[in-house]
Each structure stands twice: as structure tokens, then as C-alpha cells.
Amino acid sequence: MILDKFSLKGKVAIVTGSNTGLGQGICKAYVEAGAKVVGVSRRPSDETAKLCGKDFYNVIADLSTVDVIPNVIDETLKKFGKIDILVNNAGIIKRQDSIEFSEEEWDSVLNVNLKTVFFLTQAVAKQFIKQNSGGKIINIASMLSYQGGIRVPSYTASKSAIKGVTMTLSNEWAKYGINVNGIAPGYMATNNTQNLRQDEERSADILARIPAGRWGTPEDLQGAAVFLASEASDYVNGFTLAVDGGWLGR
């Protein structure tokens, strides 16, 4: 049956940025689809744990440094014995006029959004190859993987790079049965967009551009996240799927 191909029963997923927003929504969707989930977060994911129950395990890690990667892998294997899915969701944003943008602001965003993403993905792919099991990797990109934006040069750079790295890794790792894809959320009602949503003029401009007429929610991303983690997407590789209420089509 076709719906069976969307099941994640028996799978183990790592989801970074699990304590709020999109990461929390993805964790919940994966548990509902049958997976066991390791949520990685800088602060305890207590609310996510309550939503997900016994099939959720939280690893506390500061993803601004690659030093935490071995522990994330080890904790996952110790708890659940294998890895089948990785979702690189954790990310930060710094808003500042580009003419005033500092080196610290640049490096802090690129470290979390690109450097740690790449090396965590590499570590998980090595585990997939060791298991001889294939696997699914999903990178959370952005509308700014396709557009320039304003006042977010390091974020735009990181998310444009994520889209490119997703394609590169899909080319290299398809022979191992590893699928690497991305999801580009549109304007979502999360912590990262709180300031935009509170700016009445800016929020109105954004909503006027979205054909759906509303900000997205974590629930809006769940279907795409389950699809790209499941057997149903076995022949999808190297693509970044926009979940944006029609923003890019406008």
C-alpha cells in the first residue's frame, strides 16, 4: 500500500534544534510516523519531550562548535543502536546592515548554519556507510537559498551554501543509498521571525507577497519532512523543496 511507504516505523532520526519551532514540529511528526527521535538542542527540549513521549531522547549540545559532534553520534547509538535519518534544522540569524556587519556576526552564523551542518552530516553519512543501510539527510534551507534578502548577509550566504552542499553530497553519496535533500521553509511563525512579525509594516509587506495569505506554521512543514525521510522519496535526491505558501511562485 502506498501509505506504508510514508511510515517511519523502526527508524531512528536525529533532529537538531529540537526545542522549539520547526524542529519541535518535525520531532513530533516523526514520532507519530513511527520513528524514535534524538533531538539535539542547546537548551533542554522539555516541551518537545512532553509532546513526543518515550520515543524522544534529548541530547544537549552547542552546535556553534564541531567538537560536540562525536558525542551526538555516540549518544544516539547508545540509546537507539543506529541512525537512519538526519535533519539539520538548527540555525541562527543576525540582522544588521551589511555595511556595518561584523566578523563575529558573520562567523557565528556560518559556524552553526554551515560548518557544523556539513561535519555533522559527514559523521552521520559515515555511520550510514558503516551500517550498510543507506539513509536520509534533510537540510533545512530557506527562501534566502533562492533570494538575497536584506540585512542578513551571513544568513543568506549560509542558506545559499546549504542548497549547494545538498546537491554536492547527493551526487557523491547516492551510490551508498543515501538521499540528501533540503526543505526551504517560507516565512514561518517561529522565534527567528518574531521581530518581523511584530513590525506591522514589514509583516504586512510579507503577507501581501504570500499567495496563501498567512505565515506558515511548524505543522505546514511536517508532511514534507516525513516524505523526505521515508521510503516514498527514495528516488528524490539533491532537491530543495519549497514549503512557502506560494512565495517563490509569485
Positions marked active-site: 155
Please tell me the distance from the alpha carbon of residue 116 to that of residue 153, in angstroms, as a whole number. Answer: 19
Q: Which amino acid is at 201?
A: E
Q: What nine digits make up the cell of 23?
A: 524542529
Give phi and psi for 95, each to the nearest 5: -110, 125
Query: For residue 228, which amino acid is it?
Result: L
Q: Which residues contact 171 (CB under 8 A, 6 or more apart)?
A: 238
Contacts of 184 (CB under 8 A, 6+ apart): 141, 142, 143, 145, 146, 159, 163, 240, 241, 242, 243, 244
